[in-house]
Amino acid sequence: MELDKAQKQAEARKSGGPADLLPATIVVRLEALVRDVRTVLNDLTGVRPAPYAVRKPLARHLIAVTPSPTPSAGITPRRLRVTRVVRETPDAVSLSLTDPEGRRIAFVPGQFFTVLVTLASGDVLRRAYSISSVPDEDGAAAEVTITIKRMPGGRASNHLNDAITEGDILDVLGPSGSFTVTPDPAARRHLVLLAGGSGITPLASITRTTLAREPGARVTLVYGNRGERDIIFREALESLAEAHADRFTLRHVLSEPPAGFTGRTGLLDRDNVTRELDAIAASSGLDADATAYYVCGPEPMMAAAREALLARGVDPARIHEERFSAPARRTAPALPAASAPIEIRVRGRAKTVTAAPGQTLLEAGLAASLPMPFSCTMGGCGVCKVKLLSGNVTSEEPNCLNEEEKNQGFVLACVSRAAAPCAVEVP
């Protein structure tokens, strides 16, 4: 209110009138004098300003409410030690991790860890890297291996490829993800795996585990790469193909094939995927009721594979996809500049929390000690999905929610931010 008044006075000075004729310093003094005289006159006539003003929380205070000491309040990573570093290709490295306190790590083939990569600059990046190793029969392992392919200009992937040595500690969240195959010794299924580049990582774990644990299952892997030297796990896959020749078919597709390459050449586009599927159908058959499709790779390849599969009449429920979009390449919606109250309903009770600008629904909820489920914290696993009951949120895209979930009003708490009051429910 005071500011308004001062502004109006300043405008009045600018906009002409007798005060225009006087130097500004004199005007300021005159105004002060007028105020003084008015104050004394008001005193004498018993007119006084209210002794107090009603106050509301200011932006300054609201911003200060929620950023807890760390931006990831309530999200505590697990520390794992790097026990082995294996260079798979010039551009891919496998890191084997164990728990320093000897606890075994439970995971399902196909899951990934969210690795918190601390750069030399102090920045912490979150990236998803799939597990390529196989769990023991009880579903856990003393050592798990993740495989990281260098992304051109990728800060995290290059750091992990170049700077990590045995004995280092990695902070991870998870394992997360539902792009999984839970081993079932009685299963008599056919898994058709379509991999592009580093998309092999979860599919390698699925291949190894399925061949080892499901004697009645068949696996066909179509694996697209640029050249021969880009093939991650090349020898391991080839020895698997030899050992399980009756149940495992490995089909390489190369866009820059060496001389003498007998497989299919070109990119895994819609036509090539269709040709591969035709070839598989011709050689071993594709029983619609026993075949499941797992697709993981770069975005154009995934779109092509989906189109090809749907065009063949494959039931969408039999198509499983894993998308890894580097956060850097996501659309980053403009961060809300204001804080907004969020009503969060979880386990039958409702609580309103205030998210600071930039804080995700998940961070705001966890900071208020709400039992919100989460796993990967980067839009990749869907564990934190909540239903938006009212209001609007902005979400980073793409994320792992499918169209159906989006249409039902689900959003991912870990990559969504509220610009205005909203209400969400944890399913």
Partner 1 sequence: MFDTSRLTRFLPPRMQSQIDAYFEAFEVLLSVKDPKVLGALGPSGVRGLLLHRGKQGTPTDMPAAHTAHFNWSYPSDQPEMADLYRRAKVGQWNGDDLPWNTSVDPLDPERPLIPEEFLSFEYIEELGIKLDKEERAELGYSMCAWMLSQFLHGEQGALFAAAQVTEAVQFFDGKLYGATQVMDEGRHVEVFNRYLDTKLNKLYQINDNLFVIIDSLMTDGRWDMKFLGMQIMVEGLALGAFSTLYKQTKEPLLKELLKMVIQDEARHVHYGVCALREHFTKHLTARERQEREDWAFEVALLMRNRFAAYEVYEEWFEGRMTRAEWRNVVYRSKGMEEFRTVMFSRLVPNLREIGLLSSRIMPRYEEVGLMRYFGGLAADKLTAETLLSDLD
Strands 143-149 and 112-118: unpaired
Q: Which lies closer to partner 1 via its Cβ, residue 1 or residue 259? A: 1
Residue 347, interface with partner 1 (CB under 8 A)? no
Residues shown for the chain = 427
Task: Indicate the residue type of 25.
Answer: T
Residue 11, interface with partner 1 (CB under 8 A)? no
- Residue from 12, 19, 65, 319 touching partner 1 (CB under 8 A): that is 65
Smallest separation, CB 35 to partner 1 (Å): 5
- Residue from 14, 24, 30, 57 touching partner 1 (CB under 8 A): that is 57
Please choose, out of 32-40, 106-114, 290-298, 312-320, the segment that lies near partner 1 by the rule CB under 8 A: 32-40
Closest CA to 127 of 77, 180, 68, 91: 77
Instruction: Identify whether the C-beta of residue 412 lies closer than 8 Å to the C-beta of residue 399.
Output: yes
At residue 362's C-alpha, the angle toward residues 364 and 420, to 5°, is 60
Distances in Å between the Cα of 160 and the Cα atoms of 95, 119, 167, 376 are 9, 10, 13, 18
Query: How many CB atoms are located within 10 Å of the residue 228 CB?
Result: 14
Strands 319-322 and 291-296: parallel
Instruction: Identify whether the C-beta of residue 419 lies closer than 8 Å to the C-beta of residue 393.
Output: yes
d(CA 216, CA 169): 40
Angle between the N-to-C axes of helices 200-213 and 234-243, in degrees from 0 to 180, rounded to the nearest 10: 20
- Residue from 22, 30, 41, 64 touching partner 1 (CB under 8 A): that is 64
- Residue from 16, 17, 18, 49 touching partner 1 (CB under 8 A): that is 49
Q: Which lies closer to partner 1 via its Cβ, residue 59 or residue 288? A: 59
Please choose, out of 31-39, 100-108, 344-352, 404-412, the segment that lies near partner 1 by the rule CB under 8 A: 31-39
How far is the first Cα of the chain from the last one, in angstroms, to the nearest whole number?
45
Residue 349, interface with partner 1 (CB under 8 A)? no
Q: Which lies closer to partner 1 via its Cβ, residue 62 or residue 206? A: 62
Structure tokens at 269: 């586009």
Residue 2, interface with partner 1 (CB under 8 A)? yes
Instruction: Identify whether the C-beta of residue 380 lies closer than 8 Å to the C-beta of residue 128.
Output: yes
Please choose, out of 56-64, 138-146, 184-192, 319-327, the segment that lies near partner 1 by the rule CB under 8 A: 56-64
Please give the residues from 235 up to 254 whose contact with partner 1 meets the rule CB under 8 A.
none
Q: Does residue 135 have a cis peptide bond before it, meaning omega lies within 30 degrees of 0? A: no
Please choose, out of 15-23, 34-42, 92-100, 200-208, the segment that lies near partner 1 by the rule CB under 8 A: 34-42
3-class DSSP state for residue 105?
A: strand
- Residue from 16, 46, 152, 167 touching partner 1 (CB under 8 A): that is 46
Instruction: Identify whether the C-beta of residue 294 lies closer than 8 Å to the C-beta of residue 203.
Output: yes
Smallest separation, CB 61 to partner 1 (Å): 5
Residue 53, interface with partner 1 (CB under 8 A)? yes
Q: Which lies closer to partner 1 via its Cβ, residue 57 or residue 409? A: 57
- Residue from 8, 14, 43, 242 touching partner 1 (CB under 8 A): that is 43
Please give the residues from 289 up to 328 whose contact with partner 1 meets the rule CB under 8 A.
none
- Residue from 8, 35, 226, 406 touching partner 1 (CB under 8 A): that is 35
For residue 154, the number of C-alpha atoms closer than 13 Å in the C-beta half-sphere is: 23
- Residue from 20, 36, 256, 271 touching partner 1 (CB under 8 A): that is 36
- The binding site for partner 1 (CB under 8 A) comprises 1-2, 5-6, 35-36, 39-40, 43-49, 51-58, 60-61, 64-65, 67, 69, 368
